[in-house]
Each structure stands twice: as C-alpha cells, then as structure tokens.
Chains A and B, each alone.
Chain A
C-alpha cells in the first residue's frame, strides 16, 4: 500500500505563556532574557517551607482565552500536583490542573486559502506553571539550571484529534496565536518559546474507524519544524505498519538539525504522575458575575473584525483574512484608516509592499516598527501629490529602517514631488535634445520610446517629477515637433 492509502490523525497540546507581570505563584517578574536565576525567590526556587499563592491575572487570562475559543468556563476548579523528578522542576511537582480545568469543550474555526471552514474542537484549557531551563555547560561538561522561567504562568490548550494535514495544523496554530494576541493574554513568541506545540500523531488506513497508536512529539520551535516533524513521523509510522510491525506509544523529541525524532524516555521508566489536589491552594469558584464581566470586556476577535472589513470596507475575502490573521496587521490597518480615511490604499500597502518586506526581512507583523498613523500619513502624502507612489515605496523602506513621520523623511531626503510646469518643461526639453534617436523612433510609431524618455526625465529629477505633468508635457512637446 502507498502513503495515499493512509489517513493522518492529529491533536495538539499548545502551551502558551501568559503575559502577566509576575509568575503564577510568586511575585517574581517574568521578563524574558534576564541574567540566570536573577528572577527568582524562595518560592519559585522551591526552598523548604515556602507556599504558592495564585496570581489573579492568571485565572482572568485563562478565562478570557476560554471565552475567546468558545469554551465552557468551569464554576468549580482546583489546582493539582503532577509529580515527577527533573532538574528544571524544583519542587519535583508541577502545579497544574487535572480533572477540573478552568475551561472545557470549546472550538476554533480554521479556514483554508479557498475559504473552506472547519471547526477544531478543544478538549480543555488549563493553567499551570512553566519549568526552568537547562543550559549546556560549555566548559565543565555538565548542565546548568536556570530557574528564571520556573513558575511563569502557562495555559495548556488541548485539542481533540480533529486535524488531518500539516496545512490544517498550521492554520490551527496561526488561528490560536492570533486569538491569544487579540485578547492580549500572551505574546506568543515562538522563537522565545512562549508559544509551543506538542503534536500527537497517529495514522490509520483510510476507511478504518479505530484510531491507530499515537506518538507525542515535542521540541518543535517554528511552524516549519512542526511541518517537518509531522511529515517525518507520519512516514516513520507508515513504514512501521507497512513492515507489519506495531507503532509504540511514546514521547518523541524532534531534533531540528538531524530532521529526526528520538524517543525521550526509557521504556521501563513508565511515568505515573500521581496527580492529587494541591493542599497548599484553595478551591477556585467562579461566579456568573465574574465570567460575564470578562465576557463583556473581551476585545473584538479576528472573526468579527473580518466580517466588518468585508461589510464596511468591501475588502476581498482573501485580503480581509490576511489582515485579520494578525492583531498587529489589523491594528495597523485601522490606525492607518483613522488617519487617511482610505481603506483601499491601506489594504493595498499592507497586502503588497508591507507583506513583501516582512517576508524579505523574515520578521513577524508584531515587529513592524512604525505605527498605523505613520502609514496613514504616507498615504495622505501620495493622495495630495506631495510625493509620487514610487517615492512612497522608498518612504516605506525608510519607515522600516527608522520610524518617524513620513513628512519629515520626505523633507530630509528632498523627495518632494516637482509639480512646477516651468521647471519640468526645462527637463523635458533637455531630454528631448539629448535623445534625438528616441524622438525619431516615437515619430516613426514606436510608442515605447515615450516610456524611455519619461524614464530618463525621472532619472534626471531623481523620481521627483510629477509623473502626470511629465507625461503631458512630453506629449505636448513631441506633438509640437511634428
């Protein structure tokens, strides 16, 4: 049998760090990249005798995430201990949630390029604490434990096995990331590890109803490595089945360098986490009032923004989807419109030039350095004829380098468009004199020659000549000479 005869079944466990100021159970800051063990205290270092106190924002943010993903919010919830030994887990237990997560039974809707929609069901969202970090010791040959990240709050979002393709996985993750960014509960920086996904994969022959044995893959830190890991693991599982062997249920670690997965734990070391309710923490009981208040203050979500863009600004389905896929692009768009009142132009800039530059620079929309207001000002400068649209593109490049007011950039660079007819006429005459051959060609019917002459004039004026006037004057002069 071939690969096409198999169906791939995937479910995801996404861990997203919450953007609270302090850790989940102590008052240490959560800033990324601090010097080792400087954001620690007796509590997150698990000194004997210390006790956890739950950060109220963690509950609020998790409920927000639950509401934004159509979950039911549990009225009664609690914290449980998950017991295991690992040097990045100082208490030898992780405070998590076992049988009473804060949120359950939700879904997010994904959409492919053709606009086909699919609901991915969420099993649950629960709160837990992040572990510390192990660094490799360059000189001593050991490992070094840094506990700055220990106790940073996380939500774990667990999906049902509703995903079938790598494309769906990517759409799902991007959608989730965008929702969490919109509701401002997480920064979702994959490269900093604040948004991570573990993938559960199994395969079965098409038509089978029983699920195959699944493996869990960890340690993928980009969309691309997730896709690669899935492709590798699917091939591996199909090969095993094709050879008549059985897939073993295990946890695998993706290695991006070798492009392979490796088994993470010894088989004899079967894990038994001995979950039990944490006696140091009291029950969480959420009132209707509390939940409703969060619901009412939830910001507009991507889905609803998209509908509004279609309706209010008449954007195409595709453009609306791209812009709303990121809170940052969408906010840029709205701020630009507030300045220039020209949705069509703002849409075009974002979809074409800005997207192209993001791609070239390999940066995320969140890293766009300039504001929507500045984009709006740029659009206004072009509308007013102060600069041409080709100068506009150069201004955009400048905005990426050093964000300041476009008007100032234009002024400093001397890019103000020349609209003075007398001045342009001088240039036109000079170009005509210097290019008799082109003039002759034009007269002989080669209309392309006009383009060449206009181009020369633009070069002469460093692109600043008003192109409309320039064109008119050339035609006028050429007619005269006839």
Chain B
C-alpha cells in the first residue's frame, strides 16, 4: 500500500481501522517529498521534523482519547501567502524572504483545531500575481505531468504538491482563478468558495474584494471535507458571512437527474483550444447521460469581466502592497541616505517585475484623471457581471465552462508577455468579479497526456450543489484511475 496515493477519506478509513498510524502517514509523505521535491519543487519551506513530532504527539493523545477530531493527524500543505505563526510566510517574494508572522490566519487556527499537521509552505507566483508560478522569487515549480511545463498559478505549488502526492491536500487562494487554473493544469480538484464563506484574516491581501482561500484536493469528497474545516463566520473579517454551518459531504451522492446545466457559448469560442473544447463536449455528453438537462445560452461578459478584473485587482493591490516599505518587516535595501531612498530602493529591489507592473497599473487607474475612466467604470461593469450571473442562475443550477482556454504550457513560454498571460484567465475571473463559487475538476487529457479541467460555477453559497454535480461526474469518469502524472522530463 502506498499511503501517499490515498485520498484523505481513504486515509481516515485506514486510521479508523488501525491499519496505519499517524507517524506512518507523515513519514510516508516525508519520504515522498524527499523523492519528488527535487523534480517538482513545490515547497518554499518544509517542516518535516516538526510534522513528525506532532504526528507522534497526536497519535499518543488519540490513543488516550484526548483527541477525538475525525481527521486528527492528517497532513496538509499551505500556500505561502497564508500566515502561520512562528514560521516563514514569504508570499514567494524577496520582500518577505525572512518574514515570520506574529499570528495565525483564521484558517490555520481552524486546521490546528482539527489537529491537522502542516508539512510546509507551498510555492506560488509572487504575492499571488501570475498564472504559472514562474513569478516566484525562489523557484519554478514544475508540472508533475510534464516537468518542462508549468503547474499553473498562482497556487502552482499547492496543485503540483497534491498532484505529485507530496501532500494529501492543500490550501490555495484564488483571486482570478489561482486555485482552479493550477488544479486544472495538474489534474486535481480545486474549489474557489463564495466570497465571504471563508475568512480572509491572515491571507496576505492581493485584491481584497476578490481573494478567497479554498481547497486543492485529489478528489471531490476530500474537497468537501476540507471545505467543512475552513468555512464559518469570523468576526475578524467583516466580509465574512454569518450563516449556519453546512456539512458539504452530505449531499455529494445525490442523484443529479434533472439538474439544469447552462453552457455559455461565449466560453467555447475561438480563443479556446480545440482539444479542450472536444474534451469538454464529451463531458457535457456525459452529463446528459447522467440525466442532467443541458442548455446552451449566451453569457457575454468574459471580455468585460477580464478587463474589469485587471483594473480592480491591480488598483486594490497597489494599495494593499503599500505596507511593504522595509520599516517594520520585510526586505530593506542595503544602502540608503534618507527615508525616500529607503522606501524606493527597498520596494524596487524587494518586489519582482510582475508585482511592480501591477502596482504601477493599479496606481495609474486610481490616479486623478483616470479614476472615472477606469476604476469607476470597472465597478459598474462589476454590477453588470453580477446581474448577468443572477439572470443565468434564475434558469440554471450550474454553469459549465472550461477552466482554462489551454492546457499547461512550457516553462518560459508566456512569462515575458504579460497581456498574453492575463488573457489566459478569461474563463475564471468573472467568478471572482461576481463573488460566486466554482470548482475545477479534471475531465480528460489532451493528446500529450496533459490534464484538462472543467469549471462548474454555482450561485452564491451553492457549494453543496457544485460538489454534488462534480462528484457525480468524477465517479463516472474515474479520472484518477485512468490517467496518472508521469513526471516526464
């Protein structure tokens, strides 16, 4: 039995049956990290020793009955923009290379409360800005399906680690597709929850009105389990929603007969790769066979949403990243003769080029003379996008689209062209603009055996329905049995 190949719900079963122990699980993962990390490079920081010690401690306490949490002892990987007290939180930036958070993010408190064990912090695009994880200051993470290709981003480390079995599951963050797109590139499951469902407290802000933390997992059931752990109202985040706690595993196995799925034709247009379209069409066929009612419709917002996304996200980022000034924490330039120089040099040397590009774009659209033309318009377009989604959800339970116009691409092939990189977010950003939830699940591979992701979008707080519809498809396709990452060189 290879422990690291198991899903979390399978691990739990083995733990419950006393077939394995927690230290055995953690050791298996540490071995797997030692074996695969040199090729995949998903981690910024690993905490192997701490994890092993914690595993022993939890195993003991569990045996004594002092710990009763269902998933106690299960390891996890954390995207490195989520603050963990006492260990480094770098955001994959030189700016925070040595930063140690004085507090835990709310989601980390929740995971600790579940007695989960962190295996380390995972690579990402610097400050979550990017779609390939190539903008990390530290390393370029590889796609486990083909090591010459990118894992996607910005949560590329999280997706690659799950796909290469160096963590059983992971947390990512999604501002414009940063969970779903890497999940799709790496052939795993990634969910961006409804804005406000998961507390943002302790997530280093990129764009405050768009950011959400979410699970990246091997399968849909694990996704529901991890979502259960991280949701819930947090008084530290005023945008966090107060609602009754839902058990997302409950409705997974419901029959999806009669479920109405809308397929927006604009998301299958000329910008979308033919192989992606073909696999998606087959998936739609599969849903028909499962009894879902499929209807094509028009949702002509993708272009507007993408432009709006880059205006709003960069504007908010330009302000959110002002605090990195080299005074209280973070990188400080070596030589400076006055305060202004300290600021300018620290920021210019501490941030990478993509981060600076976005700060400058954001500063530009907020500056006097341009605010009305860009930022204000973008906020109006945001209303438009929300209205259009509301209309669609009056007719459909789920909207089905590709997650990304293409499969994973070669390292270095897009990182020099920012606009091209931005355009590849076309399928995912509207979801963040509208604040609705969406999942990406693998639905097939292309001719080169690279995974293709399908995005299922639901109305606000309809995660249960999304997971149900995703689960039905997953059980039918059996992707994990059929296709496996090959670590091709």
Contact = CB atoms under 8 A, between A and B. Distances in A.
A and B touch in the complex (CB under 8 A): yes
Given A85-B343, A274-B366, A276-B375, A48 B91 contact: yes
Contacts of B368: 272, 274
A470 interface: no
A34 interface: no
Interface residues of A, number: 27
B203 interface: yes
Q: B105, B201, B375: which has the most chain A beta carbons within 10 Å?
A: B201
Contact of B236 (A51, A81, A83): A51
A81 B208 contact: no
B328 A42 contact: no
A48 B316 CA distance: 14
Contact of A47 (B102, B203, B316, B322): B102
B357 to A, nearest CB: 17
Contacts of B328: 45-47, 90, 145
Interface in A303-325: none
Interface stretch (A279-287, A380-388, A472-480): A279-287
A87 B336 CA distance: 15
Interface residues of B, number: 44
B204 interface: yes
A49 B238 contact: no
A50 B201 contact: yes
A53 B233 CA distance: 14
A471 B303 CA distance: 103
A92 B201 contact: no
A49 B105 contact: yes
A395 to B, nearest CB: 54
A190 interface: no
Contact of A49 (B83, B239, B343, B366): B83
A52 B200 CA distance: 11
B96 interface: yes
Contacts, number: 99
B160 interface: no
Nearest to A43: B236
A291 B327 CA distance: 42
Contacts of B105: 49
A93 B239 CA distance: 20
Contact of A276 (B204, B315, B324): B315
A282 B367 contact: no
Nearest to A87: B327
B378 to A, nearest CB: 11
A91 B323 contact: yes
A469 interface: no
Contacts of A282: 238-239
Contacts of A108: none
B325 interface: yes
Contacts of B164: none
A54 B89 contact: no
Nearest to A280: B208
B323 to A, nearest CB: 5
A281 B238 contact: yes
Contacts of B89: 48-49
A51 B201 contact: yes
A145 B343 CA distance: 15
B213 to A, nearest CB: 11
Contacts of B102: 42, 47
Nearest to A81: B319
A463 B313 CA distance: 82
A92 B366 contact: no
**Most chain B CB inside 10 Å of its own CB: which residue of A49, A52, A91:** A49
B325 A85 contact: yes
B205 interface: yes
A48 B83 contact: yes
A48 B367 contact: no
Interface of B: 81-83, 89, 91, 96, 99, 101-103, 105, 200-205, 207-209, 235-239, 315-316, 318-319, 322-325, 327-329, 339, 343, 363, 366-368, 371, 375
Interface of A: 42, 45-54, 81, 83, 85, 87, 90-93, 145, 272, 274, 276, 279-282
Given A48-B83, A50-B103, 20 more contacts: A45-B328, A46-B328, A47-B328, A48-B89, A48-B204, A48-B323, A49-B83, A51-B200, A53-B236, A53-B237, A83-B319, A83-B366, A85-B322, A85-B343, A272-B368, A274-B363, A276-B315, A279-B208, A279-B209, A281-B238
